[in-house]
Amino acid sequence: MERPEKILVIEDDHATIKSIVSILDRHDFKSLTALNVDQAIKHLNSDSQIGLIITDLSMPGKDGFYLIDYVKSNYRFHHIPVVVCSHLGDRDAVLKALKLGATDYLVKPVQPEKMLQTINDVIKRGRGRILVVDDEKIMRELLERLLQRENFTTFIAKSGEEAIEILKETMVDLVITDIAMPGMNGLELMVHIKDMYPFVPVLVITGFSGKYNSENVIAEGADGYIAKPFKNIEIINKVKSYL
């Protein structure tokens, strides 16, 4: 991810919004501010230079959860990282925000160093966060090396069950999964992902193209399909097209 041209800050407390903007100004980040979600949505629809969002959750009217859902369900904005900065620090609030698509979560009060570190971490995460699921070690390692060479952040799971545990704690931008695996297979995993995280694309790969053909797999809900053996450029092009 390139350094954002503008950071949109949504916060109904004037002292807090002034503090965040001061941190951004000192480190040469340009910012826009909004006191509520409706103002934030107007900024998003009128300014194409917004590259990162920092939002509170508890606000009058529409709350921060609404904003995250709006951003991540809108094709124009879903690529914009959203960092939550809120007094709500309980597990349910954090997991809800992450499942809706938040990139990171800060609990107030936040020290300036922590705020800056989080922003820089979001920028350094690269083009996207990808979960690779395959029961074959060779295939996992191949895909991991391939994606990391392209500056993608990768997470690895040996099974569908392990992938679900990762998704409970980590927000990803794309899942690449094999179909034929012991226990939960890739199609069952895909159904779970689409139920719990409907805006996360799922790319399915398989060595059984006769049994699992492209038309059937796409009809089941997959966003993309690749048959083994595949060319490296084929995987990269598919991933880039979804992100």
pLDDT band at 36 (very low <50, low <70, confident <90, very high): very high
In tens, the pLDDT along 209-218 reads 667 777 788 8
Q: Is residue 42 part of a domain?
A: yes
DSSP character for 217? H
Residue that is last in its domain, among 91, 109, 124: 124
Number of structural domains, the chain?
2
Q: Helices 14-26 and 112-124: crossing angle, nearest 10°?
A: 60
* Signed CA dihedral, 40, 44, 48, 52: sign only: positive
Q: Is 13 in the same domain as 103?
A: yes
The Cα–Cα gap between 43 and 47 comes to 6
Q: Is 48 in the same domain as 144?
A: no
Range of the domain at 109: 6-124
CATH of the domain at 235: 3.40.50.2300
Three-state DSSP at 20 gives: helix
Q: Is residue 43 part of a domain?
A: yes
In tens, the pLDDT along 100-115 reads 888 899 999 999 999 9
pTM of the model: 0.59
Residue that is last in its domain, among 124, 147, 166: 124
Q: Is residue 1 part of a domain?
A: no
Q: Is 10 in the same domain as 116?
A: yes
The Cα–Cα gap between 90 and 64 comes to 15
In tens, the pLDDT along 143-188 reads 999 998 877 889 999 999 999 999 988 878 899 999 999 999 999 9
Q: Is 113 in the same domain as 140?
A: no
Assigned token pair, 230: 């595949």
126 has a pLDDT exceeding 60: no
The Cα–Cα gap between 73 and 67 comes to 10
The Cα–Cα gap between 183 and 159 comes to 8
Residue that is last in its domain, among 105, 124, 143: 124
Q: Is 229 in the same domain as 188?
A: yes
pLDDT for position 240:
81
Q: Could you tell me where the DSSP H helices lie in 8-136?
A: 14-26, 37-46, 64-72, 91-100, 112-124
